[in-house]
């Protein structure tokens, strides 16, 4: 399998998905077909979201279509060179994929060689479940199990920073709550600007910031760039 799992899409001072362009350029060729799954988008319509992504990757000359426009979505996924899943609300993303019967076609396509590219909610969807999303459960996705393409749980946008005077839990405290209930899980804290590259049975953490690995009953493990995850 081949996957690029990004923490975020936007970086202050740069254009949308700016940091993703050189990463994707290493894995694609001009003219390749891409199905974009925009269902995490809530406050922007799916056509606009698809257009925004197309403009971000314009220099790569990819053929990007929104899955919501396809008469036979499963067939479009099966024929695609790249399956791209955008960020937004993870619960709505999972709900739409589940109700439209797309989870199995996505899994099968990636296992057969299609490149999976996700950011934020799109990265969460690749995990065994969406239990490490940061999003409000604004809709019922009919279960939390996701694609299970990547065996570890990812917490995108990871930070332990709290605003002055804020009395809520840190992100690590929330992850520790999950691990108290499900100690068998491993959770990757993926800071903004970082990503995970998967090739076959290998996966590596990359980016300008240390990636954190959380295990039940252990201190957070700091992983430098290029560190293997599997």
The residue ranges of every structural domain in the chain are 2-160+169-228
Residues 137-151, mean pLDDT to the nearest whole number: 98
- Helix ranges restricted to H, 133-220: 171-181
Average pLDDT over the chain, rounded to whole? 97
Q: Is 120 an active-site residue?
A: yes
pLDDT at position 144 = 98
Q: Which of the residues 19, 68, 81, 120 is marked catalytic?
A: 120
pLDDT at position 167 = 80
Per-residue pLDDT band for 165 (boundaries 50, 70, 90) equals: confident
Q: Which of the residues 68, 123, 129, 135 is marked catalytic?
A: 135
C-alpha triplet 184, 160, 155: angle, nearest 5° = 45
Dump pLDDT digits (tens) for 11-70: 989 999 999 999 999 999 999 999 999 999 999 999 999 999 999 999 999 999 999 999
Per-residue pLDDT band for 136 (boundaries 50, 70, 90) equals: very high
C-alpha triplet 211, 202, 204: angle, nearest 5° = 20
Which of these CATH numbers, 2.40.30.260, 3.40.50.880, 3.50.50.60, 1.10.20.10, describes 2-160+169-228? 3.40.50.880
Q: Is 45 an active-site residue?
A: no
Residues 108-125, mean pLDDT to the nearest whole number: 98
Q: Is 166 an active-site residue?
A: no
Q: Which of the residues 157, 206, 209, 227 is marked catalytic?
A: 157
pLDDT score of 164 more than 90: no
Per-residue pLDDT band for 89 (boundaries 50, 70, 90) equals: very high
Task: Tell me which of 32-41, 96-105, 166-175 is least confident.
Answer: 166-175
Q: Residue with structure tokens 């698809």?
A: 50
């Amino acid at each position: 399998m081949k996957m690029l799992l990004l923490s975020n899409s936007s970086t202050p001072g740069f254009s949308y998905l700016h940091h993703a362009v050189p990463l994707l350029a290493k894995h694609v060729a001009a003219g390749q077909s891409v199905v974009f799954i925009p269902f995490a988008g809530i406050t922007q319509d799916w056509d606009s979201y698809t257009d925004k992504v197309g403009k971000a990757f314009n220099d790569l000359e990819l053929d990007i279509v929104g899955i919501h426009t396809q008469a036979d979505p499963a067939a479009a996924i099966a024929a695609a060179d790249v399956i791209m899943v955008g960020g937004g609300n993870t619960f709505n993303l999972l709900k739409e994929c589940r109700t439209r019967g797309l989870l199995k076609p996505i899994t099968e396509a990636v296992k057969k060689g299609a490149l999976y590219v996700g950011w934020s909610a799109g990265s969460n969807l690749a995990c065994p479940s969406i239990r490490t999303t940061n999003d409000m459960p604004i809709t019922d996705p009919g279960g939390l199990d996701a694609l299970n393409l990547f065996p570890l749980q990812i917490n995108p946008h990871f930070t332990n920073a709290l605003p002055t005077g804020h009395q809520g839990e840190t992100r690590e405290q929330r992850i520790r709550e999950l691990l108290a209930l499900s100690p068998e899980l491993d959770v990757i804290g993926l800071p903004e600007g970082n990503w995970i590259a998967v090739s076959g049975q290998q996966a590596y953490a990359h980016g300008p910031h240390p990636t954190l690995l959380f295990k039940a009953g252990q201190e957070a493990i700091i992983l430098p760039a290029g560190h293997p995850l599997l």
